[in-house]
Structure 1
Amino acid sequence: MNLNQLKYFLAIVKTGSFSNAADDMYISQSSMSKQIKALETELGIDLFKREHSKVYLTDIGAEFAKYAESTVKQHNDMLLYLDEFATKKSNTIRFGSIPVVSSYGLSGQIADFTNNYNPNINVVIDMHENNQQEVMKELFDGSIDIALIRTDYLENTEAFDFIPYKKDVFVLVCNKEHPLTAKDSVTPEDLLPYPLSLLDVQSVIYTIVTRAFESHGIDKQPKCLTTRHKILMEILQTSPNITLLPNSLVDLDAYPHLTTVPLTEELTSNVALIKLKKRRLNKITKDFWTYWQKTLPLQ
């Protein structure tokens, strides 16, 4: 038995389903099921009754839930207590981000903070840049303390503090020679004849774009998926494919063979700096958070 298994168990109790609990904990449903099965096997009891898509606690499972809640709470209380001592010595900002720091000009903001902070303190930025699912996992497991993410479709918003940073508007991105460049703006129906490239399925951008098509009753399947928007734009330079991206991610100076076309119906994505409300921050990370609140208003 380990602490993560207890957390997964409690997430299922809270949400009433394995799939919703897996979404909340940012793991796959199959991984969640394996962990719970391993826990039940170790304990030698059935914790849940499974009926169709719903799960219910068994009588012994309900009793076990009381101990699981107590154990997880005691663990969190212990970490908070020990953190009082550890954070006083730490000058590290553990910062996770989706791959947008350079595109949004945030490197300069981070440099400005470090350059103007107490000259007697050596500021360490421990930056983790990854897809949103991995960033959220790191935030929950304590590998990072703050994260820059897209907040569209974010679950359990009441668990977080937010500093809104940017409302980003999507545009069509394609080769300058593409037929769609003749239009002043494009609709989802205009895009139907052309192969679509997108960021991979773990990205919020993928979800935003595919749901936009679905809202028009269009089943538009991507022909190409990639993990980085810069790779995507490199592909489009010599391809008949098209994509939809937040305008701030499109660097036409770096990719001179590309152009953008506005969308007839506005499609947006919201980016924010977040932290868990229950997460205790060291002083330098608190100062960094305050700096963002003062200097980076919503764009």
Structure 2
Amino acid sequence: MDINNLKTFLAVVRYGSFRKAAGDFYISPRAVSKQMDQLEDELGIKLFERKKNRSELTEDGHEFIVTAEDIVNTYTNEINRINTRKKNQVKHLRLGFSSSNQAIALQRKLLPMIDKEYTVDFIQQSGRRLIELLQAGELDFIVTPYYFLDNEEMKTLKMISLFTGELVVGISKNSSLSKQEYVKVEDLEDRDIFYYSPVESAFMQDVLIAKFPNHFKKEQIKRAPSLELRDAYVASNQGIGFYPSVFVDVERTRNPMIEFKHLDTTNNIAYSSALYYRKDANDEIKKIVAKLG
């Protein structure tokens, strides 16, 4: 299987466009289409429904995304490992984070604890996918939110809270709710809620329903494939978003049309930007953890 075809496939998924994906690799849209034809022929499935001026993923196409990501990531990690060995760089770390906010937490807390002798590889994925990769031993650390909800799949991992706060609600300045000092959850029940996830996932729907039982329905809680899109929907008063209080200073800088309000509620709105590592981590990992206190 041609790794370049897989990389091109993921670029098409990311941009939703053959033309935009072509720009990433300095090739023509026709060349992208040919690569996708080759991939479909090799797999024996149809990945895209090609329509005039646009292409949409089929059900098989959606299911193939994680497989393609695994192959590309494994290939990239192996190439990096080989190159590292060639350069005789002994110490190597693999770090994952789930969003730009989690990358900030990683930079503020974890990176200062890592000695200069280490080389570091980074990967950005959804929180659930990062957990799977960490459990499989393909990552050393991940930084992703903890929502203070029971989660069986985390039992094999250890966690350190890097920043702890609560969820606040982001509301467009064009909304009358933005003028209130506090916002009640009941005032939000008829509004769409936008959350960020780079892949199709119901995880945040489950989190918000668990945190605010009997207040929201699943169909109200909608995925945006980028932080920028989520913020654009909120800023234009098409819905609301829940944001971590620990990153509100950053959010205010990049979202001048959004007001961030505390919630007047007894619901569980606790939030943490958390560092995870395996319970059976090696001594090098444990030394870094010890520096975090």
Classify the TM-score, shorter chain. Answer: 0.5 to 0.7
Letter in 2 for 1:260: F
Structure 2 contact 165–272 (Cα < 8 Å) conserved? yes
Letter in 1 for 2:236: T
1: CA distance between counterparts of 2:211 and 2:108?
Answer: 33
Residue from 113, 120, 123 that aligns with 1:125: 120
How far 1:203 moved relative to its partner?
Answer: 6.9
| Alignment pair present for 1:169 and 2:172 | no
Quote the sequence identity (%). 14
| Alignment pair present for 1:259 and 2:259 | yes
Q: Which has the higher contact order (CA 8 A, sep 6+)?
A: 1
Match of 2:122, SS?
strand
How far 1:157 moved relative to its partner?
Answer: 4.5
2: CA distance between counterparts of 1:191 and 1:123?
Answer: 47
Letter in 2 for 1:278: D
Query: Looking at CA atoms only, which structure, 1 or 2, has the larger radius of gyration?
Result: 1
Aligned to 1:232: 230
Structure 2 contact 109–162 (Cα < 8 Å) conserved? no
Structure 1 contact 188–216 (Cα < 8 Å) conserved? no
Cα–Cα, structure 1 residues 139 and 199, in superposed 2: closer, same or farther, change >3 Å?
Answer: same
Residue from 135, 148, 152 that aligns with 1:140: 135
4+ residue stretches of structure 1 with deviation over 4 A?
A: none
Aligned length: 199
Match of 1:262, SS?
strand
Cα–Cα, structure 1 residues 218 and 107, in superposed 2: closer, same or farther, change >3 Å?
Answer: closer
How far 1:153 moved relative to its partner?
Answer: 3.4
1:1-299 paired onto structure 2 within 5 Å: 90-99=90-99, 100-104=101-105, 106-114=106-114, 117=115, 122-151=117-146, 152-200=149-197, 202=201, 205-213=204-212, 215-216=213-214, 218-219=216-217, 221-222=219-220, 224-250=222-248, 251-265=251-265, 267-281=269-283, 283=284, 285-292=285-292, 294=293
How far 1:204 moved relative to its partner?
Answer: 5.0
Structure 1 contact 186–261 (Cα < 8 Å) conserved? yes
1: CA distance between counterparts of 2:157 and 2:236?
Answer: 42
TM-score by length of 1: 0.57
For the aligned residue pairs, the C-alpha RMSD in angstroms reads 2.9
2: CA distance between counterparts of 1:288 and 1:227?
Answer: 33
How far 1:171 moved relative to its partner?
Answer: 1.0
Structure 2 contact 135–156 (Cα < 8 Å) conserved? no
Match of 2:252, SS?
coil
- Note the residue ranges of structure 1 that are not aligned, 5 or more in a row: 1-30, 32-85, 295-299
Match of 1:241, SS?
coil
- Note the residue ranges of structure 2 that are not aligned, 5 or more in a row: 1-62, 64-84
Cα–Cα, structure 1 residues 195 and 149, in superposed 2: closer, same or farther, change >3 Å?
Answer: closer
Letter in 2 for 1:145: D
Structure 1 contact 178–240 (Cα < 8 Å) conserved? no
